[in-house]
Amino acid sequence: MRRISWCKEQKRGIKLVKPNDNLSEEYYQNAEESLKVLRSIKETRSNMWIATTKYYIEYFAVYSLLMKIGIKCEIHDCTISLVKFLENEEVVRKGLSRNLERDKELRIDNQYYLKNKHVDIDFERLSDFLLSVKESLFKLNHDKIIELRSKIEKFE
């Protein structure tokens, strides 16, 4: 995972911080709140706002995991690399990073390049995404957090 090593060297990249259950919960609540917002935005048919909100639902959810583990990362590509790492560590289900990457690209296309690409909204799939992250949060115990932090520290 050379990408994680690169991310650790970046100013706004991967930094180990004190695990924070309160921030973890707040990020997860932001994901749930954004899902509610998406329901109202859907009626506007604004592909830019739908893509942006959909992506941030997923991003806030996975960032809640990072806060629980004690990882700060302000580079979205690095956050996605961390999700791939968590998939390999069987903390989250396979495919979360792929969904996040795909929806990040769609958000960028619609928000910054004004491509107005259609955004498929499947509220059941998004709810399942959130539930799978919530399950991962519940399964993370102190020992697993220490193990994950140790592995991340060792990346060079």
Domain count, the chain: 1
- pLDDT at residue 28 is higher than 90: yes
CATH of the domain at 46: 1.20.120.330
Q: How far apart are alpha carbons 98 and 102 in whole angstroms?
A: 6
Residue 20: domain span:
2-154
Helices (H), 15-154: 21-42, 47-69, 76-88, 96-111, 123-139, 142-154
- pTM exceeds 0.85 for this model: yes
Q: Are 125 and 72 in contact (CB under 8 A)?
A: no
pLDDT digits (tens, 9 = 90+) for 42-98: 999 999 999 999 999 999 999 999 999 999 999 999 999 999 999 999 999 999 999
Q: Which residue has the tokens 């639902």?
A: 57
pLDDT at 101 over 90: yes
Closest by Cα among 83, 64, 58 to 7: 83
pLDDT tens sequence across 102-138: 999 999 999 999 999 999 999 999 999 999 999 999 9
Give the residue-averaged pLDDT of 17-46.
97
pLDDT at position 137 is 97
Find out whether 83 and 103 touch, Cβ atoms under 8 Å. no
